[in-house]
Amino acid sequence: MSRRVVITGVGAVTGYGVGRKVFWEGVVGGRSAVRALEWEGWEKAPIQVAAQIVEEKSEKREKREEWRSLRWARLALQEAMRSSGVSRRAGISGAIGWPGPEEKWEGQDSLENLAREVGLEGERVESLAACAASTQAIAEAFWMIREGEVDEMVTGGADGRAHPGGLLGYDRLGALARGFREKPEEACQPFGLGRSGFVVGEGAGFLVLEEREKAMARGANILAEVRGAAVGCDAWRVTDPREDAVEAVACVTGCLRDAGLEAEEVDAIVAHGTGTVANDRAEAKMLRKVFGERNPWVIAPKNRIGHLSMASGAVESVLAAQSIAENFLPSTLGKDWRTDPECPVRMVEVGGKKGVQAILKPSFGFGGQNACLLFIRP
């Protein structure tokens, strides 16, 4: 059995604020959610910026001990369900980041909590595959529906390491952009000549996936279709991608094969694009091997919203689905971005691009975790 799978609802929480509309308007408007950190005693720390979720003082006081990633997941999931009208029979597939300092955990199962709170009665699938985790979770939900195991799934992720331990840990690995306190919006420059690392972000993204015929029968608003998916692993190094990009190529070509599409049918890439020297070089090499001289358009939203760790693929998938629904691909270029000859990708220029039929969304995580999704116009 092979059925078509569509997206009927999305929800997002990012450094811009709560909601898909706020997220979309922030990216399209060319604004950055990356800000200078205002933590007391942090003035001389090496890492000076992050794309934090700003909360009201009352929220900080009342919820300071709550598991923040779980709260963001709840908000994004509820928005996706409201916009879709999906039934309680839906299952959930997701990736939720671990609690931060002073946040309550007590061995809770994050997906069980979410399902209970919003009344989801279906199956639960979890992924912990590093920065590819939520992309893998979406892939699993897609395959379950396509193969007839279930009819509807809510899928995505939430995460955020914008706390001192998280930032210093990533910095010890040499992964973060240092400084930029005076111009935080230029800290992350994916595929650019001046790139020096990524910026930590926070947030969540969720999508509602449904079997196409049943979604149409109930009059659901279809935003996009999930056409293919693939997962894989480099089994290379803990933090570095394979320099020859062999397994990344295998994952992306596997996604195209799963979708039944040729490389030339892809219009655009919502890149993983971390802004680190090694990742961007390997990803650019992968794109050249898969697409040859015909470069699809590329956007790299981590420039705007930071790197959301396990949630990055989910939020970027929301952006891909929204881009198809709006028939518009926004630019993510910063003012200081300059072309790097080692990364010959075709970045969407300021002003964006109209007309998009098929978008590829690859993700590459620590430990060599790879995942890829393909979204098309329904």
At 61 the pLDDT is 45
- d(CA 75, CA 91) in angstroms, rounded, equals 17
Domain boundaries, the chain: 5-376
Average pLDDT over residues 346-360: 96
**Which tokens hold the place of 72?**
């963001």
Q: Output the average pLDDT for the chain.
A: 93
Residue 58 reports pLDDT greater than 60: no
At 1 the pLDDT is 59
| SS3 labels along 97-160 | CCCCCCCCCCCCCHHHHHHHHHCCCCCEEECCCHHHHHHHHHHHHHHHHHCCCCCEEEEEEEEE
Q: Identify the band that residue 29 occupies on the pLDDT scale cut at 50, 70 and 90.
A: very high
Cα–Cα distance list, 58 to 53, 55, 63, 144, 299 (Å): 14, 8, 8, 41, 36
According to DSSP, residue 307 is labeled B
- In sequence order, what are the residues at sequence separation of 6 or more whose Cβ sits closer than 8 angstroms to the Cβ of residue 21? none
Q: Identify the band that residue 367 occupies on the pLDDT scale cut at 50, 70 and 90.
A: confident
pLDDT in tens, 270-329: 999 999 999 999 999 999 999 998 889 999 999 999 999 999 999 999 999 999 999 999
Number of neighbours of residue 12 by Cβ within 10 angstroms: 31
- Amino acid at residue number 248: A
pLDDT in tens, 225-273: 999 999 999 887 777 788 889 999 999 999 999 999 999 999 999 999 9
- d(CA 17, CA 52) in angstroms, rounded, equals 9
With 0-12 CB in 10 A as exposed, 13-18 as middle and 19+ as buried, what is 182? exposed
Class of domain 5-376: alpha beta
Furthest-apart CA atoms within the chain: distance in Å: 59
